[in-house]
Amino acid sequence: MTFQPEIAAIRFGTGLGPTHRPPTSPEALLRPLAGPDDMAALHPIPRSAQIEAEVHAIRTLVRQKRDEPDREEELDRAMRARRDALRDLHSAMAAATFARAVDTADPFRERLVQFWQDHFTVLGMGGLGDYAVAPYIESAIRPHLQGRFADMLRAVIQHPLMLLYLDQNRSVGPNSVKARRGNQMNGMNENLARELLELHTLGVGAGYDQEDVRQLAELLAGLGGNLENGFRFFVDYGEPGPETVLGRSYGRRDPKLEDIHAVLEDLSVHPETARHMARKLAVHFVSDAPDPALVDHLATRWADTGGELMAVYQALLEHPSAQGAPLQKAKLPFGLMTSAFRALGLDGARLTALDANRVRRTLFRPLAAMGQPWQRPLGPDGWPEAAERWITPQGLAARITWAMDLTRKFEIELPDPRDFLTHALGTLASEETIFAAHAAETVEDGVALVICSPDFQRR
C-alpha cells in the first residue's frame, strides 16, 4: 500500500497545518526522533527534582508553622505564595505540553509521549501530587522514547509518583526486618505487582496467577520514596528471597534492588509482553480492531530486538496496513484541540503566554467538558481508545461548543474556511465537508464546521 503523507501526519503526528509539511516517508517520521528533543528545549517542563524541591519547601514551612506559632501569619503568607507559584507552574506545564504538539517538526515524538504516558498512567491523587504528573512524564518517559522498553519500565517503576499512586511506598515484606521488629505499617501491598503484570507488561490473561502476583509483590517490597525526597530503596522493608515469578527465581537472603531490575528486564522481553504491547500500539495508532498481520509484525520485531523501541516504531510505520488505510479512530480531546490549533496556524508562543487563569478557561475547561480532564484519567488503565467512548451526544456537543468559541477565546483572525479546509485536511476532505466549508454563512461557522466534521475528528 502506498504511503500517504496526509494520513501519516494525522495518524502518527499532531495534524496538518499551514506551516508544517506532512512527512514524505516513514523514515521522515522516524528520523527526527533519533535526534535532539527540540520541543523540550523550546517549551521546557521541569524534571521531578524541581517539583521535589518545591514540595520540600512547602512542607518545611508547614513544620515551621507548627514549631513557631508566633510566626503563624508570616508563615501562612509564605505558604500561600509558594502554593500560588506551584499552581502557576502547573498551568505553565500544561501550556508547554500543548505548545509542543502545535509547534513540533517532530510530531511522532509528541504522539509517542502521549501513548507512553497513558500506558504508564499515574494520578497525583490531589494535593501536591497533582503538580508532579508532568515532571514524571519529563523524567521517566520522555528521555526513554528511543531506547529499550526495559529502561523506560525501570524509570517508571522507580518513580516516586508511581509508587505513591499504587501505594507501593509503604509496602512491607511479611518477613522483612521491619516486620520482625513488630511494625508492619500497612503490610504488603500488591497493587504495583498486579498492574505491572496486567497493564504494563504481560497483559490480562497472559498465563500468570495470583501466586505470581504475590511473589512479585514480595520482590518489589522496599521500593519507596516521596515527592519531597525522591526515590529510595528501603532494604529493611524488603522480603528476604528467593521469590519465584513465572517459574523463575529471583533474589537471595538479602533484598537487593538489582533483583527487582532483573525481573523487570525479564518481563520487558517476555513473549506475552511483546504481544500485548504490539496490539496496544496498533490499536492506539491505527485501528480499534487492528490487522492481525500488523500485530504479528510488531510482536516479532519486539521479540527479535529485545524491546528496542526504535525498531518497533519502524515496524509500525513501515507496515502496509498502517500506511494507507483510511483514518478510523476518534481524536481524544487533547488531540482534537492541538490539531485544530496547528491547522489554524496558531504558534506555541501564543499558548505559553497565557496566564494561569486563561489556561484554566481555554485549555482545562474544554478538555474536561469533552471528557478528558487534564492528566486525570479514570484509572490506572488510562484513557479508553474506543470511538464510542468519545463520540457521544454530550461529547459532541462539547466539541461543537468549543469549536464555535475559538475566535472569542483566542482572539485570532480566522482564515477563510476554504483555505482552512486545505490546511486542516488537504485532500482528505469529503464532499460533504467541502460543501459545508464553502456554504457557511460566516467565517466562524465555516471553520467550526470543518473542525466538527467527521473528517477532522478522525485520527
Burial degree of 138 (CB within 10 A; 0-12, 13-18, 19+): buried
- Tell me what pLDDT residue 137 has: 98
Of residues 11, 20, 107, the one with CA closest to residue 326: 11
Q: What pLDDT, on a 0 to 100 scale, did the predictor assign at position 184?
A: 52
Q: Report residue 135 CA to chain centroid gap.
A: 11
Q: Which three cell numbers stand for residue 291?
A: 490487522
**CA gap 317, 8 in Å, rounded:** 9
Measure the CA–CA gap between 197 and 406, rounded to whole angstroms: 43
Cell 517542563 locates to: 45
Q: Which three cell numbers stand for residue 57?
A: 519547601
Contact 223, 154 (CB under 8 A): no
Question: Which residue is associated with the grid cell 528545549?
Answer: 41
> Which 8-state DSSP code applies to residue 23?
P
Residues listed for the chain: 459
pLDDT per residue of the chain (459 residues) written in tens, 0 to 9? 689 999 999 999 999 999 999 999 999 999 999 999 999 999 999 988 888 888 888 889 999 999 999 999 999 899 999 989 889 999 999 999 999 999 999 999 999 999 999 999 999 877 778 899 999 999 999 999 999 999 999 999 999 999 999 999 889 999 999 888 876 556 899 999 999 999 999 999 999 999 999 999 999 999 999 888 899 999 999 999 899 999 999 988 899 999 999 999 999 999 999 999 999 999 999 999 999 999 999 999 999 999 999 999 999 999 999 987 899 999 999 999 999 999 999 999 999 999 999 999 999 999 999 999 999 998 999 999 999 999 999 999 999 999 999 877 887 889 999 999 999 999 999 999 999 999 999 999 999 999 999 999 999
Buried b (16+ CB within 10 A) or exposed e, 185-210: eeebbbbbbbbbbbbbbbbeebebee
Within 83-165, strands assigned E span none
Each residue of 243-260: b (16+ CB within 10 Å) or e? bbbbeeebbeeebbbebb
What the block records as the C-alpha cell of 99 is 505548545
Helix-strand-coil percent breakdown of the chain, rounded to 5? 65, 5, 30
pLDDT at 183: 60
Please work out, in degrees rounded to the nearest 5, the angle formed at the alpha carbon of residue 440 by the alpha carbons of 434 and 442: 140
Which of 171, 188, 157 minimizes the C-alpha distance to 264? Answer: 157
Please give the pLDDT value at position 430: 97
| Whole-number Cα distances in Å, 456 to 17, 327, 360, 449 | 12, 10, 25, 10
Select from 208, 46, 74 the least CA-distant residue to 136. 46
Residue whose entry in the numeric block shows the C-alpha cell 480532564 = 373
Tell me phi and psi for residue 391, to 5 degrees. Answer: -90, 80
pLDDT of residue 240: 93
Q: Which three cell numbers stand for residue 48?
A: 521531578
Sign of CA dihedral 22, 24, 30, 32: negative
pLDDT of 413 reads 85
